[in-house]
Amino acid sequence: MIRSRRVLVVGNGGREHALAWKLVQDGAEVLVAPGNAGTACIAENVPVAATDIPALLELARTREVDLTVVGPEAPLVAGIVDAFAAAGLRIFGPTQRAAQIEGSKSFCKQILHRGDVPTAMFREFRSAARAREYLEAREDMPVVVKADGLAAGKGVFVCGDRATALAAVQSLAEDPALAAAAGSILVEERLDGVEVSVLAITDGRTIVTLPPLQDHKAAYDGDEGPNTGGMGAYCPTPFVDAELLAEIEAKILVPTVHAMRRAKVPFQGVLYAGLMLTSQGPKVLEFNARFGDPECEPLLLRMESSLLELLDAAVDRRLESCPAPTWYDGAAVSVVMASEGYPGPVTKGQPIRGLDAAATLPDVQVFHAATRLTDGRSVADGGRVLAVTARGTSLARAKLQAYTAVKEIRWAGAWCRKDIADKGIDREREMLAAEATTAETIS
């Protein structure tokens, strides 16, 4: 008997639950390390941390894993792909050097420069004193102050004026956690416009661009409040039509992949472009070296073709001959349900009620983001607890269905944003109104 393909998914968030869910549908037998209560229901959780590379290698060897898929950035930046490749094991994701496109903003800017890819103008400083001098000397205008390295989303300060920018440099210099990330400090021009995400799967040569998305990074409705890992996402976003997606592919994704290959740092994996749609066209805010979370959840809920085949083709460097993925011809919306206190400290361990009722709703998948099983029950185990995801024939219907599922679920202190996908729904309405006006004028 031919055994089914065995795939190891590394990580424990909503993204990894969505990856495991999709790979199971594609016929794979899935292990998740370490996984959460959601992945435990559909796959086999193995208690190995996502950053314990030697233990993950051992796991892949002893369990005869055919393909490993890495969710989060930390193991990528720590070199998991290099270690697996050296051991002759198949793994989907960029090498340690290539993951610097996310891990080092300075490296990212060098690649963008080589590829002539549009991005914000910037200056890099080796010390806080130099950054301060520069800010004092230049015209007082909005800037963004960034730590060079990974800072768990805390290393970026969008500043309206010089005083705020100086304060940001000060906190980078003073906060020991941030100072470690701030090998150098970047001061860049603030870009204005609508923010969107476009992800592509690449084998280092060929790229497969995935449908455009929009994340919601601010904690509260109306994009108010502190920055988070993402409070919700939807796909596709009407802010990027087919023509603009083709432009993003041609002017941003393709030149970046080629620039990395020319720099002898070929990129295999998911290249995630965080973009600002400015009045001068799309510009890169950042690159990530992985699927976004929660972006991955609505994306995979819409994917109809096999993810496994696509990832296999990327790992074997034959994306060029792989059929293009196909997508559900509607929309998907993912609403993050968070614990009280997020993005600050949260209490853990509250039992989650209503998961079964939510699961019976049509077109709904509740992906677990920070949960664990205690006495056979799912309990909250972190800040972003669930990514409640639904699809529908329109964005408005998908949103309605996602929030219908949210209403079924509760635990002490649970909350979510109420306006996920509204920007996209408003945009669609505007486009329809504009079309109607044009039709009237013509007739």
Site for ligand GLY in 282-341 (CB under 6 A): 288, 292-293, 295
Contact pick of 26, 124, 148, 188 for ligand AMP (by CB under 6 A): 188
Per the CB < 8 A criterion, the answer to whether 96 and 102 are in contact is no
Quick count: other Cβ atoms within 10 Å of Cβ 304?
9
Contacts 24+ apart (CB under 8 A), 218-224: 219/342, 219/343, 219/417, 220/417, 221/417, 221/418, 221/419, 222/419
CA dist 331 and 327 (Å) reads: 10
Please write down the HEC assignment for all residues of 350-404: CECECHHHHHCCCCEEEEECCEEEECCEEEECCCEEEEEEEEECCHHHHHHHHHH
Residue of the chain from 191, 253, 284, 386 that contacts ligand AMP (CB under 6 A)? 191
Residues binding ligand AMP: number (CB under 6 A): 13
293 touches which of ligand AMP, ligand GLY, none (CB within 5 to 8 A by kind)? ligand GLY
Residue 206 or 256 with smaller CB distance to ligand GLY: 256
**Residue 292: CB minimum distance to ligand AMP, A:** 11
75 binds ligand GLY (CB under 6 A): no
**Which residue is closest to ligand AMP by CB?**
286
Nearer to ligand AMP, 156 or 361 (CB): 156
230 binds ligand GLY (CB under 6 A): yes
Q: Least separation, in Å, of the C-beta of 149 and ligand AMP?
A: 11
Cα angle 156-276-382, degrees, rounded to a multiple of 5: 50
Q: Which of 26, 66, 215, 381 binds ligand GLY (CB under 6 A)?
A: 215
Which of ligand AMP, ligand GLY, none lies near 229, with the C-beta cut-off 5 to 8 A by kind?
ligand GLY
Please give the structure tokens belonging to residue 51: 């950053």
Closest by CA to 314, choosing from 227, 207, 169, is 207
Provide DSSP, 159-223.
ESSHHHHHHHHHHHHH-HHHHHH-SSEEEEEPP-SEEEEEEEEESSS-EEEPPPBEE--EEEGGG
Cis peptide before 298 (omega within 30 of 0): no
CB of 195 to ligand AMP, least distance (A): 5
Would you count residue 229 as binding ligand GLY (CB under 6 A)?
yes
Instruction: In whole angstroms, give the CA distance from residue 177 to residue 154.
Output: 10
CA distance 132 to 125: 9
**158: contact with ligand AMP by CB under 6 A:** yes
Q: Which stretch binds ligand AMP (CB under 6 A): 87-95, 185-193, 203-211, 262-270?
A: 185-193
Pick 115 or 292: Cβ nearer ligand GLY: 292
What are the structure tokens assigned to 112, written together?
């963008």
Among 46, 156, 396, 400, binds ligand AMP (CB under 6 A): 156
**Exposed/middle/buried for 54, CB within 10 Å: 0-12, 13-18, 19+?**
exposed
The residue (of 97 and 290) whose beta carbon lies closer to ligand GLY is: 290
Q: Which stretch binds ligand AMP (CB under 6 A): 78-86, 184-192, 360-368, 415-423?
A: 184-192
Residues contributing to the site for ligand GLY (CB under 6 A):
215, 229-230, 288, 292-293, 295
Residues contributing to the site for ligand AMP (CB under 6 A):
120, 144, 146, 156, 158, 188, 190-191, 195, 217, 274, 285-286
